[in-house]
Amino acid sequence: MKTIPCLVAILACLALFIAPAAAMTSESLDITISQDGSADIQFTYRLNWIEYISVYLRLVDPAQELKKALESNFRKPVTVTGIDSGSVHLSVDSFASVTEKDGKTTVRTPGLSFAEGERILQNYWFAPLVSVDLSPAVTTIRFPDGSVATFSDALEIPPQVRSW
């Protein structure tokens, strides 16, 4: 009778070691900045089976981990406004600085680094089993004047400045 649970445990361990290294895929990060400098942020991702199970069992909360990483990066409160199995929707007040001088508006965004998020994820039990690359395939920053900055597979996004 004890052999069945033991066999199941052995098979589960083998599955973990035989399975190829899995990875979370960061698909896109879309940041829309409003006239007052606040930002609406949409982050889409794809989870592998290990991460999906971790989320399902509530061992990891992607929204809260992203919120913590962003608050650490921006040093400002971040609000989670929505989440589903493949995306997190956030808002950040005063994300960008907005100045007006001589009828000209200038918006400055902070630099972004996904390296801190990768370091945070390395603290989880499944870290040795996965390969994490949080740099989104596409990062888009939309400014109030309609201009757009786009970056591909960038771990670091430099500060952006737009004037109109």
Name the pLDDT band for 22 (thresholds 50, 70, 90): very low
The token pair at 91 is 């808002």
Listed residue (23, 40, 143, 38) closest to 95, CA to CA: 38
**CB under 8 Å to 64, separation ≥6 — which residues?**
80
pLDDT tens profile 67-123:
776 777 778 888 888 887 778 888 999 999 999 999 999 999 999 887 766 676 677
**Mean pLDDT over residues 6-19, rounded?**
43
Name the pLDDT band for 139 (thresholds 50, 70, 90): very high
Listed residue (115, 116, 135) closest to 28, CA to CA: 135
Check: pTM over 0.75? Answer yes or no: no
In the prediction, which pLDDT does 112 show? 85
Question: Checking DSSP bridges between strand 39-46 and strand 148-152, what pairing results, if any?
Answer: unpaired
In the prediction, which pLDDT does 23 show? 54
Residue spans per domain, the chain: 24-163
Residue 153 predicted with pLDDT over 50: yes
Count of alpha carbons within 13 Å of 48, Cβ hemisphere only? Answer: 16
Residue 156 predicted with pLDDT over 70: yes
Name the pLDDT band for 16 (thresholds 50, 70, 90): very low
pLDDT tens profile 29-69:
999 999 999 999 998 887 766 555 555 555 555 666 667 76
